[in-house]
């Protein structure tokens, strides 16, 4: 039995997230079907994280076990011809039996995209959050700096998954501007359910003056979700990085 890891990307607009569901089309189910056609087996894929309906991935990692002897370097092409055009596998590698796409990851990165300005961009519908104002980037950066480091992020997550601890280490948060697009890039050792979208919403609250950058430490210590900003829409969120030891995939 071989353990195969895949790097892929997908536009999540048409899917009800990654996780398999009984009455909805998801990314994992679509990928499993294509892999099953290639290997002739019933395939179960494990993903590197939970992404909700409408969330995208510029890079994502999944792994599956198979008895198929198809060389790993031939799998991307074989699978891609059976996948819809909004999902693409671009790398495959045979990994150790104990590799797990979630638990073996050393860091993950999400980026939240905001389209600012008074007029929306029709080409960014479902791909960025339209914000018809001018955000205060410096206030957002000051607040983001208070979130870097090891903290309990219970105040910046949605209830919906069981975890042993809500403590995470935020390695960095970078906010950049490119024309009318604002990108909030967040890299951490792990993310809680809706944590990235709640961070983005809280930074928007700071921009609007509903919170001060200096309020963030007390907010985190409070563990009070209602004290933070909203969970911004899924359309603006992308998984943009996931790292493993020795760059094995």
Structural domains in the chain, sorted by start = 2-104 (3.30.70.580), 107-242 (3.30.70.660)
What is the pLDDT confidence band of residue 241, given thresholds at 50, 70 and 90? very high
What integer pLDDT is reported at residue 174 of this predicted model?
Answer: 98
Q: Report, as an integer, the average pLDDT of 129-134.
A: 95
Task: Tell whether the model's pLDDT for residue 11 goes beyond 80.
Answer: yes
Which listed residue (52, 98, 152, 247) is catalytic?
52
pTM of the model: 0.95
What integer pLDDT is reported at residue 50 of this predicted model?
Answer: 85
What integer pLDDT is reported at residue 27 of this predicted model?
Answer: 97
**145 vs 246 pLDDT, higher one:** 145
Residue pLDDT, tens place only, 160-181 = 667 889 999 999 999 999 999 9
**50 vs 54 pLDDT, higher one:** 54
215 is catalytic: no
What integer pLDDT is reported at residue 20 of this predicted model?
Answer: 85
For residues 137 and 175, the answer to whether their CB atoms sit within 8 Å is yes
Pairing of strands 56-66, 237-243: parallel
Task: Tell whether the model's pLDDT for residue 221 goes beyond 80.
Answer: yes
């Amino acid at each position: 039995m071989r353990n195969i890891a895949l790097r892929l990307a997908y536009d999540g607009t048409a899917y009800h997230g990654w996780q398999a569901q009984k009455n909805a089309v998801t990314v994992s189910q679509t990928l499993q079907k294509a892999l099953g056609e290639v290997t002739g087996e019933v395939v179960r894929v494990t993903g590197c994280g939970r992404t909700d309906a409408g969330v995208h991935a510029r890079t994502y990692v999944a792994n599956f076990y198979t008895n198929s002897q198809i060389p790993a370097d031939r799998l991307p092409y074989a699978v891609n011809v059976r996948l819809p055009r909004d999902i693409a596998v671009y790398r495959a590698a045979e990994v150790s039996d104990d590799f797990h796409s979630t638990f073996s990851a050393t860091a993950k990165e999400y980026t939240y995209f905001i389209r600012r300005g008074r007029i929306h961009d029709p080409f960014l519908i479902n791909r960025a959050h339209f914000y018809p104002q001018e955000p205060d980037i410096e206030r957002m950066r000051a607040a983001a700096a208070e979130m870097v480091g090891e903290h309990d992020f219970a105040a910046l997550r949605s209830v919906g998954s069981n975890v042993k601890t809500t403590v995470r280490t935020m390695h960095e948060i970078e906010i950049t501007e490119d024309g009318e697009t604002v990108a909030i890039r967040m890299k951490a050792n792990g993310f809680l359910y809706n944590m990235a979208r709640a961070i983005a919403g809280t930074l928007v609250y700071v921009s609007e003056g509903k919170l001060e950058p200096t309020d963030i430490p007390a907010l985190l210590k409070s563990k009070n979700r209602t004290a933070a900003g909203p969970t911004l829409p899924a359309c603006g969120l992308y998984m943009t990085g996931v790292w493993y030891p020795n760059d094995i995939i």
